[in-house]
Amino acid sequence: MTESLPVTAYVRISPATFDPSRFAEVEAMNTKTSEYLVPALKQLPGLIHHYVGLAPEAV
């Protein structure tokens, strides 16, 4: 399914790196900050989607 986007749409990518041995800590931090960050993001005018991805093997 193709989604039509407004001409003002943009993508924001915020890459981060961390020691893979700290994956559990980073995942817990992501879960905790999502409790307040996701509701705030959903209030932004024009927000279409919000995605987060974590991978212990990502480099």
d(CA 34, CA 36): 5
Q: Is the model more confident about 49 or about 3?
A: 49
Task: Tell how far CA 22 is from the center of its chain.
Answer: 18
Q: Is the pLDDT of residue 25 over 90?
A: yes
The DSSP line for 1-59 is ------TT-----------GGGHHHHHHHHHHHHHHHHHHHHTSTT---------TT--
pLDDT bracket for residue 22 (50, 70, 90):
very high
pLDDT digits (tens, 9 = 90+) for 27-49: 999 999 999 999 999 998 888 88
| pLDDT number for residue 59 | 57
Tell the residue number behind the tokens 């991978």, with chain if given: 55
